[in-house]
Structure 1
Amino acid sequence: MKWDLPLYVPILIGTIAVALLYYFHFQQTKSEKSSSM
């Protein structure tokens, strides 16, 4: 049984992955630059 995924599924997964990467990146930079802010 083969079923094709809709086009938005890999795009949604990629968007969530990039969002998580930027979230953790900004969390680290925010903790490092807390004194300058």
Structure 2
Amino acid sequence: MAINLPLTQNAIQNVRTKLKRLAGRGILIETEPGLFTRPRS
């Protein structure tokens, strides 16, 4: 999936933080460090 954001260190860190937050809420799962997916229903 492509997200049209600039490849700056700040943008990358912001996306990483959002993904970690979604994983913490159970919306996503982190299968490996830095690899996120939706949980299976």
Gaps in structure 1 of 5+ consecutive residues: 1-9, 31-37
Which structure has more relative contact order (CA 8 Å, sep 6+)? It is 2
Quote the RMSD (CA, aligned, Å): 2.0
Gaps in structure 2 of 5+ consecutive residues: 1-6, 28-41
Query: Normalization by structure 1: what TM-score?
Result: 0.50
Query: Normalization by structure 2: what TM-score?
Result: 0.46
The structure with more helix, counted as a fraction of residues: 1
Structure 1 residue runs of 4 or more that deviate by more than 4 Å after TM superposition: none
Larger Rg: 1
